[in-house]
């Protein structure tokens, strides 16, 4: 996967680096006995940011027999989150391959970056359960949002 | 617990019956393999509606050594919820006892009532782990919001 | 729904009252900032106990086009649960109607009853989305397990 | 952090590579609308494997005023998980630094490796909220379990 000089990209911890935004509301049940939002819930926030456009019916980035599979998820925890509150999830495209692409995400509480994340998604054929090349429409959508 | 003629109350399935409102955002992880939002997540929505005022630091309805314990929760499931979406949670006071009170809640997706819920909460002394009488400030707050 | 004299049933808080058993393992993420297992997770435990037989492929209690919908869930919280630990979930049938049935459940940590629950399930036709009469096989299975 | 030649380590996808084991039971609520266990739940499984020894009261790896903070989590998703079932979580130590250490984990469904994970944990002083050097007892415990 060609990620085109990641070192020169705008910082993952800055809100200004992201073009696609969703938000989520912290729940009491997100906390754990340490008093803060449980670490594993951050994976849920990353998913919220991802899924909203991947499975958007109007965008229809996946074909009728396709699905997106997350094959790798990396999260760097940078600040604790406390209930109650709201978080903003920024997403950008970091790289585009033949059958996969890499997303970068930032989870923000106001201007505080609580976590950054990178994930690799593969386009799957639901019948064969194998990776398939990114369709032109999806590729074009990703390229428009490629971080530079 | 005197619940004061529940039959005459405004309907639990009408938005207009509730005075206290919070909202929550559905998450992809809230769904289950039946395709809809998992039933158990409704208990989390009820909690979100409850906790926001019970543990509000400015309201400080609980004294420094007090806690609220849910001793009973009832949920009537009325409509399925589907991701993505947002829900509104209305809360009202249905009854006030010596050491406990009863809340009524409605979970709404637009004007559709997805569920109604009743719960009984007891004021607990954190040291003795026993129920204690509702403090005057808490009782007054509840009485102002008592459904009529 | 004829529930046949619930007052004479063996106590819901006694392990000996239940014939169907499953167990679950507490997770760190089940805790909340109060330090104990979050109340809403109890609804998940009830579900675990229910689903294991309702959707058992060998039992096949539901026909190919049927589904079970929970229409009401009641939980009485009796003791806190703390991580780590394991819980046992006992289930019994409390009543059988034409299109629905009522289950009783107990959540146990050793001999301590942490919660009891009652739920009403309706057999749904997936196509019409309406309730349908319990099939003879399902009815027989329920009657064998009816609490007496 | 000196991770001592990771390439020569036993494979992360083999059960035999792990010395510390815990297990967890899949829950119906772990599934999502794709029908499989939700990706974010894998982060919960990793946590289950980690926390059981980190916060074991008898082991007392953390001092009375210490805490472990996860600063990085990586998960490689290798196979889907389906309800119902049980998973085994193997954990090993991959590297030991001055104030932090790196764990490797494998999530197994029978002999199938559903995911592998690496995480970096930092020993935190609860008062200063800063990293502190690993105590000799903790360091010795980690070194005994260092993957070779």
pLDDT of amino acid D12: 97
pLDDT band at B72 (very low <50, low <70, confident <90, very high): very high
In chain A, at which residue ranges do the beta strands (DSSP E only) sit?
20-25, 66-77, 86-96, 100-109, 112-125, 130-131
Q: Measured at the alpha carbon of residue A108, what is the angle toward residues D125 and A49, in degrees to the nearest 5?
A: 125
Residue D121 in contact with residue D99, Cβ under 8 Å?
no
Q: Indicate whether A4 belongs to any domain.
A: no
Nearest-by-CA chain A residue for B44: A29
Q: Indicate whether C25 belongs to any domain.
A: yes
Give CA separation, C20 vs B40, C92, C146, C147, D100, in Å.
21, 7, 11, 11, 46
Q: Indicate whether A81 belongs to any domain.
A: yes
- Looking at per-residue pLDDT, the higher value among C135 and D5 belongs to C135
**D72 to A74: CB separation less than 8 angstroms, yes or no:** yes
Q: Indicate whether B62 belongs to any domain.
A: yes
Instruction: Tell whether the model's pLDDT for residue D99 goes beyond 90.
Output: yes
Residue to mutate among D28, D29, D37, D85, with most B CBs inside 10 A, is: D29
Name the residue among B34, B39, B47 with its Cβ closest to that of C39.
Answer: B47
Mean pLDDT per 10-residue interval, chain C, length 148 residues: 59 95 97 96 96 86 90 98 97 97 98 98 93 94 92
Matching residue, tokens 């009652």: C118
Residue C12 in contact with residue C103, Cβ under 8 Å?
no
pLDDT band at A5 (very low <50, low <70, confident <90, very high): very low
Q: Indicate whether B8 belongs to any domain.
A: no
Instruction: Tell whether the model's pLDDT for residue A3 goes beyond 50.
Output: no
Chain A residues in contact with B49 by the CB 8 A cut-off are: none
pLDDT of amino acid A62: 85
The domain that contains D27 carries what CATH number?
A: 3.10.129.10
Beta bridge partners of D106: D90, D116
pLDDT of amino acid B51: 92
Listed residue (D93, D72, D79, D70) closest to D36, CA to CA: D79
**D72 to A69: CB separation less than 8 angstroms, yes or no:** no
C89 φ/ψ angles, rounded to the nearest 5 degrees: -120, 115
Q: Would you give the distance in Å from CA B91 to the centre of its chain?
A: 5
Q: Indicate whether B104 belongs to any domain.
A: yes
Chain C residues in contact with D47 by the CB 8 A cut-off are: 27-29
Residues of D with CB under 8 A from a CB of B: 28-29, 31-36, 38, 40-41, 83
Give me the interface pTM, i.e. the ipTM: 0.93
Q: Indicate whether D1 belongs to any domain.
A: no
- Looking at per-residue pLDDT, the higher value among A4 and D125 belongs to D125
Tally the residues of chain C.
148
Listed residue (B78, B74, B77) closest to B104, CA to CA: B74
pLDDT band at A7 (very low <50, low <70, confident <90, very high): low
Number of domains chain A is built from: 1
Which structural domain, as residue segments, surrounds residue C135?
A: 13-144
Chain C residues in contact with B40 by the CB 8 A cut-off are: 40-41, 43-44, 46-47
Q: Indicate whether A133 belongs to any domain.
A: yes
């Amino acid at each position: 996967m060609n990620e085109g000089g990641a070192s020169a990209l705008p910082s993952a911890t800055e809100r200004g680096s992201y073009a696609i935004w969703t938000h989520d509301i912290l729940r009491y049940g997100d906390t754990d006995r340490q008093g803060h939002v449980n670490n594993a819930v951050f994976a849920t926030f990353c998913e919220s940011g991802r899924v909203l456009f991947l499975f958007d019916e109007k965008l229809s980035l996946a074909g009728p027999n396709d699905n997106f599979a997350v094959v790798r998820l990396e999260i760097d925890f940078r600040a604790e989150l406390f209930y109650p509150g709201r978080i903003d999830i920024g997403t950008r495209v970091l790289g585009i391959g033949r059958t996969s692409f890499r997303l970068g995400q930032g989870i923000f509480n106001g201007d505080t970056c609580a976590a950054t994340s990178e994930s690799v998604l593969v386009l799957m054929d639901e019948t064969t359960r194998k990776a398939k090349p990114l369709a032109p429409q999806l590729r074009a959508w990703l390229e428009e949002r490629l971080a530079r």
